[in-house]
Amino acid sequence: MAFFKKLKDRLFKSSSKIEEGLDAIVEDGGVEEVIEPSEPDANAAAQAEAEAQAAEAQAARVAEEEARVEAARIAELEREQEAARLAEQARARDAAAKAEELAKAEREAEAARQEEARLEAEAAKREADARAQAEQAERARKDAQEAARVAAEQARADADAKAIAEAKEAANAAEVTRLEVEKAEREKAAQIAEAERQAEEVKRAEAARAAEAERLKEEARQAEEQRLAEDARRAEEARQASAAREAELARQAVAAAAEEAKRAEDQRRAQAERKADDEGREAERTAQEKAAKPGLLGRLLGRGETKTVVRRELDDDMLERLEELLISADMGVDTALRVTSNMAEGRYGKRLSTQEIKELLAGEITRIMEPVARPMPLYPTKPQVVLVVGVNGSGKTTTIGKLASQFQAAGKKVVIAAGDTFRAAAVEQLQVWGDRAGVPVLTAPEGSDPASLAFEAMEQAARDGADLLMIDTAGRLQNRADLMEELQKIVRVIRKKDPDAPHNTLLVLDATTGQNALSQVKTFQELADVSGLVMTKLDGTAKGGVLVALADKFGLPIHAIGVGEQIDDLAPFDPEEFAAALTGLEL
């Protein structure tokens, strides 16, 4: 509430403009209604006490329900962990079975190879035997030929007739020997063919076994890939859950640090306010004493003064003036039409007061802003790289210093890289914030390549074990292609070191730019993949409605808003407080 008071006191210096505009719209054509004071109720105190007790009971029930839900969530998480453990055991058993099948297939393949070697050895032996028989038959044939020649010579010496007869016998013997040799050769060829057939069968069996072994290997590989994918999915879910918890803890820690920093200021202001209140009460008491006293009957009945309130019928003219008022507050045509249309739904033709319109308007703005009100997420990655971008003068450097100081106070180790190497003042300003928060600031000579500095800063942050590396960038206009290309270069260089970096890309917007902020978000989103917004300078002359238009059009998370130069002037974005401050509604 302290930040809300500051927000309402400082916001735009024009929150009164919307408030005055609403007053003018209602009063123009409105009708005064007299609100009579009600009779004093003797049971009012008892009723108020009963309502307070009922509220406490309801709060207790809500707390009990939240505790039950949390217990159920923890139980569900434990069940999931047990299921994951059992699934891991089942996968281990399946892997062991697959390994056993693979080993069995390998043993069978080895036995087949040994059998093939044995058959090849037997075939070689049979071939050697066949060659020996053929050689023996060849020698016998030659011996027979030689014997026939000798016999022929002797036969010619003895007698022509006897020689012819003996020659015929020798020829017959040679023919028989030749036939035997041919028979042996045929048997040898048959043995070789049989050996080749058996070897071919062995090869086919070996190929079949190898194919089966390959199939089993492929199944095992696919099963392993599925297991790894499932493990990665579960690890990613656990990482996201852990990151969400860390982000919430960090938000709470940052809020606590900011609250602690504000406490001293609040005490000082409280003293001043008490003094002003004392003076105001004294003046009010004096004025009351001077005012006319109510009559005796009025004092006895406890009646107060009658009051008047102005109400106006919600018609087309009133809706048109509301739209114009919201558009003038930089809310944009589309968003203004949507807000007023939702306000009129079910209320058209009814008489509404300024307070009721404020409540309706604040409710619609809160509904639009609630989905985008999220703290900057923190991840277990070290270092988590936070790239801060924006146009010239948007407040990037100051925002980095405030965020770094808050994260450092929350127990995070932070390193800052002064990537705006073209502006010496930016480096000096960051060094001042770094000294104030005890955060190291890495710099480079003026005019150096900011992409090289970003790469070196990532290496240094990794060596130092930093949790966060916040990189400042030079201010650039979204319509300058050369400057935007330089920003893309920084992103490319960072990703050479870590493909997932930058893990956060914060776009800092100056609230005083009005509708131009829409084109800035569009351009930076296309080039740098913006992950969240920080809106600064809401304490200036800004109309503030542009933040509603940004939430309505882009839906990007709004992490924080700033309303001043002090460390506690940057706080997590609260949509309800913002809507109330924008419309002048008292919380």
Percent above pLDDT 70 for the chain: 75
Report long-range pairs for 63-67 (Cβ below 8 Å, ≥24 apart): none
**For position 500, what pLDDT does the model report?**
92
The verdict on residue 431 lying in a domain is yes
Three-class DSSP labels, 170-210? HHHHHHHHHHHHHHHHHHHHHHHHHHHHHHHHHHHHHHHHH
- Domain end: 241, 261, 285, which one? 241
Question: Is the pLDDT reported for residue 381 higher than 80?
Answer: yes
Q: pLDDT band at 298, cuts 50/70/90?
A: very low
The verdict on residue 560 lying in a domain is yes
The verdict on residue 543 lying in a domain is yes
Q: pLDDT band at 4, cuts 50/70/90?
A: very low
- Domain end: 226, 241, 256, which one? 241
The verdict on residue 60 lying in a domain is no
Segment 78-101 shows an average pLDDT of 74
- Domain end: 187, 215, 241, which one? 241
Question: Is the pLDDT reported for residue 517 higher than 50?
Answer: yes
Q: Note down the domain range covering 227.
A: 78-241
More confident residue, 469 or 247: 469
Residue 415 sits in the same domain as residue 561: yes
Q: List pLDDT tens digits, range 417-461.
A: 998 887 777 888 889 888 888 899 999 888 888 999 999 999 999
Q: Which two tokens stand for residue 197?
A: 């057939």
**For position 338, what pLDDT does the model report?**
93
Q: List pLDDT tens digits, range 392-406.
A: 888 898 899 999 989
The verdict on residue 58 lying in a domain is no
The verdict on residue 404 lying in a domain is yes
The verdict on residue 160 lying in a domain is yes
Question: Is the pLDDT reported for residue 463 higher than 60?
Answer: yes
Distances in whole angstroms, Cα of residue 494 to Cα of each of 450, 452, 524: 11, 9, 17
Domain count, the chain: 2
More confident residue, 282 or 161: 161
Residue 237 sits in the same domain as residue 386: no
Block residue for tokens 């190898």? 210
Question: Is the pLDDT reported for residue 12 higher than 50?
Answer: no
Q: pLDDT band at 296, cuts 50/70/90?
A: very low
**For position 303, what pLDDT does the model report?**
40
Question: Is the pLDDT reported for residue 374 higher than 70?
Answer: yes
The verdict on residue 557 lying in a domain is yes
Distance of CA 522 to the CA centre of its chain: 20
The three-state secondary structure class of 574 is coil
Q: List pLDDT tens digits, range 552-579.
A: 999 999 999 988 777 777 889 999 989 9
Question: Is the pLDDT reported for residue 152 higher than 90?
Answer: no
Q: How high is the mean pLDDT of the chain? A: 78
